[in-house]
């Protein structure tokens, strides 16, 4: 009498990859994410360049754009402009002038003694 239970079990072959998982540091991930956020850059080309999948890159972008506290983080483009040094006369101190140009065209200039909370309020209003 032949039954299913007495039938010979099927042979199953398991194929594994020899590749190891890479460990990326937070700095490496952030650099790749920043590269993917550049204007006109293809996410697929950045992922291919670094040997990762687009899904992985989108995951990293999400990880870095949303902080653990739930506040949205963002990258800002910074340009250093070289201006001729002005002579500092007696009694004058360097102001450490910072100029912030927002995407809407608004410009804010502050010096090193700016009140941080006041600047945050102003930038919050200008962002909308």
pTM exceeds 0.85:
no
pLDDT of residue 46: 93
pLDDT of residue 68: 44
At a CB cut-off of 8 Å and minimum separation 6, what does 35 contact?
41, 46
37/35 Cα distance (integer angstroms): 5
Name the segment(s) of the chain with CATH classification 1.10.10.
Answer: 24-79
Burial, 57: exposed, middle or buried (Cβ in 10 Å; 0-12, 13-18, 19+)?
buried
Report the CATH number of the 24-79 domain: 1.10.10
Positions in the chain short of pLDDT 50: 68-69
108/58 Cα distance (integer angstroms): 33
């Amino acid at each position: 009498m032949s039954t299913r239970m007495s039938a010979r079990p099927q042979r199953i072959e398991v194929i594994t990859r020899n590749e190891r998982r890479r460990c990326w540091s937070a700095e490496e991930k952030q650099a790749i994410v920043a590269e993917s956020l550049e204007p006109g850059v293809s996410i697929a080309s950045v992922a291919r360049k670094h040997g990762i999948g687009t899904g992985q890159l989108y995951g990293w972008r999400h990880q870095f754009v949303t902080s653990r506290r739930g506040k949205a983080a963002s990258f800002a483009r910074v340009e250093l402009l070289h201006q001729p040094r002005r002579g500092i006369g007696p009694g004058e101190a360097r102001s450490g002038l910072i100029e912030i140009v927002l995407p809407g065209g608004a410009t804010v200039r502050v010096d090193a003694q700016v009140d941080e909370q006041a600047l945050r309020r102003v930038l919050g209003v200008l962002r909308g």
